Structure 1
């Protein structure tokens, strides 16, 4: 990890006060996670779930269209993104996982926190994000950006984006 450690919410202020996420789970044990996943409809399992790794290292999950900040209760997180599970024999495995969260804009270096949370649950995973999202804040206009195809240019003002992650860590 590059020292970011934890991530503060950097998205729209109006989302920070959202109501508590409906149908979320705190996956403190594999059994809790497995039971929650078993209760999902097939269409829900076909797409990723929203996740955060709370400061206590526990994985929290909610349906995809849930806001990360609501799932985190407005608090800082160790990691955030989306995760899709697949069946693995009689259990579950991580099929895809990404740091896609425009509310927290976590660096791909947040993977170790997610890896530890999954390891603690005994869930097989790929060992890294299957899709790494690069976030940068534009120094010129302040806009949050996703860097695509190594093009470090702001989508709003065409300003140059820094090579290093530049959101203020907590």
Structure 2
């Protein structure tokens, strides 16, 4: 979803940053359609690392199509950037510890602001 609110789609094995032509986004992830409607949708994008709270902008874009859709991401992913080693991390089960170096991860989203378009 670019900063203009346009839903951009690309094949699954493509890179989200390439899909957005290198520009900032409001959200990114994976989407699966079944019979023309959204059956699965996530915010899983290691290129942009969007927060699950980006859902309302995604929902608005899907409603504009319109298609039937879930009420939220079917899989919600929490990303944090390690302040010690700069590694991107997926936080699982509320465990805010870097998988690479073991440093504590911040509770709040901490990627560069320009990456998410706000």
Give the TM-score of the pair, scaled to structure 2. 0.93
CA-CA distance at 1:168 after TM superposition: 2.1
Q: CA deviation at 1:141?
A: 1.1
Deviations 1:131-169 (CA, angstroms, capped at 9, x unpaired): 000000111111110011221110110000111111121
Matches within 5 A, 1:76-91: 76-87=24-35
Give the alignment's TM-score, normalised by structure 1: 0.65
What secondary structure is seen at the aligned counterpart in 2 of 1:59?
coil
**Residue 79 of structure 2 is aligned to residue 131 of structure 1:** no
The alignment covers a number of residue pairs equal to: 114
Per the alignment, residue 98 of structure 1 pairs with 42
Q: Does 1:64 align with 2:8?
A: no
Give runs of ≥4 in structure 1 deviating > 2 Å: none
The match for 1:162 is: 106
Q: Structure 2: how far apart are the matches of 1:119 and 1:97?
A: 14
Which structure carries more strand by proportion?
1
CA RMSD of aligned residues (A): 0.8
**Helix, strand or coil at the partner of 2:39:** strand
- Structure 1 unmatched runs, 5+: 1-52
